[in-house]
Copies of this chain bind each other. A is one copy, B any other.
Amino acid sequence: MPVITMELGKVSIEQKRELVTKVTELTAGVTGVPKEAFIVLIKENDAESTGFGGELLSDKRAKMAAEKKVGGNYE
């Protein structure tokens, strides 16, 4: 019956496969619930739709990129 919802950013299908396999295995091991009963839902969130510390993630990243550029030729 366990349902694990993973709110993440963009992830590749390889990463999704690894997450589903390993998170199910790990949680089944810790809880003793058989693997077959597990559902994992992976939700990909745009940086423009995600707030972190009161700021859009896309804005945070834009600022960090700009600061790096000022730091000299894309350090």
Interface residues of A (CB under 8 A from B): 1-9, 11, 13, 15-28, 30-31, 33, 35-45, 48-59
Contacts and interface: CB of A to CB of B under 8 A. Distances in A.
Given A13-B48, A39-B50, A55 B20 contact: yes
Highest count of chain B CB atoms <10 Å: which of A9, A38, A39, A41:
A39
A29 B40 CA distance: 18
B6 A48 contact: no
B38 A42 contact: no
A66 B59 CA distance: 37
Highest count of chain B CB atoms <10 Å: which of A24, A30, A57:
A30
A58 B39 CA distance: 13
